[in-house]
Amino acid sequence: MIANRGTARIIGALFLISTAAYMIGNGQINAVLSHPEYLARLYPDRMKVHIGLFLELINAAAVVGIAIYLFPVLKKQNESISLGYLCSRIIESALLIGSIICTLILLTLSEKYVAGFGNGGEGYFLTLGTLAMRGQYMTFELAMLVLSLGSIMFCYLLFRTRLVPRTMSLLGIVGYMALLASSCLSIIGIDFGYILYIPGGIFELIFPIWLIVKGFSTTK
């Protein structure tokens, strides 16, 4: 049997919107920030950065939307876990917005840097830019840490209640445990790149497609 088909489709669509918006938006921003002379390039390329930030803001909004639509579905199974997941995604969204704010600070620094380059104070701008870049990096990693903790609980509940096939739930548990490890290691300065994102990324592609096509299975 299929329950909450309309809600499941909305949740699935929000997952896909969140993933696509973040990947495209982050790609737009990193294309500029990864350049050695990022302060000299950010403001001239501000249109590309603004588009990227808008897409990241859509991601932050979609994250909250996912939790809100999932809450009544999960609450029927376990109120504590459903509330924990809701809170984790709200905190994640707030941290992602913090990362967006750091990028906006970098844009302002870039504007001043470009206008005042050659008039002294280059070290001052570079120091502030490094701090803002670090802030952006850390807020993102903290957002991923919170996401992984909440989503491990979420996938455990999916596994226990069989709202989706158990193999899919297990993939989610493994994926978010890998994301948790990646975030913890990144925070202490060990970078594995994106390899630990792969299992969770596969889950966040398969899971929403399943919801759109099949919905949640009724267990009661």
Q: Is 115 left (phi over 0), alpha (psi -120 to 50) or beta?
A: alpha
pLDDT of residue 66: 96
Domain ranges within the chain, ordered by starting residue: 2-217
Q: From the CB of residue 40, how many other CB atoms can be counted at a distance below 10 Å?
A: 15
What is the rounded CA–CA span in Å between residue 114 and residue 29?
Answer: 18
What is the rounded CA–CA span in Å between residue 220 and residue 201?
Answer: 30
pLDDT of residue 148: 95
pLDDT of residue 1: 41
Q: Whole-prediction pTM value?
A: 0.89
Q: What is the pLDDT along the chain (220 residues), one digit of tens a residue?
A: 444 788 999 999 999 999 999 999 999 999 998 888 888 889 898 999 999 999 999 999 999 999 999 999 999 999 999 999 999 999 999 999 999 999 999 999 998 888 876 455 677 788 888 899 999 999 999 999 999 999 999 999 999 999 999 999 999 999 999 999 999 998 888 887 778 889 999 999 999 999 999 888 865 4
Task: State the DSSP H helix or E strand holding residue 2, giving kind and residue range, or none if neither.
Answer: strand 2-3
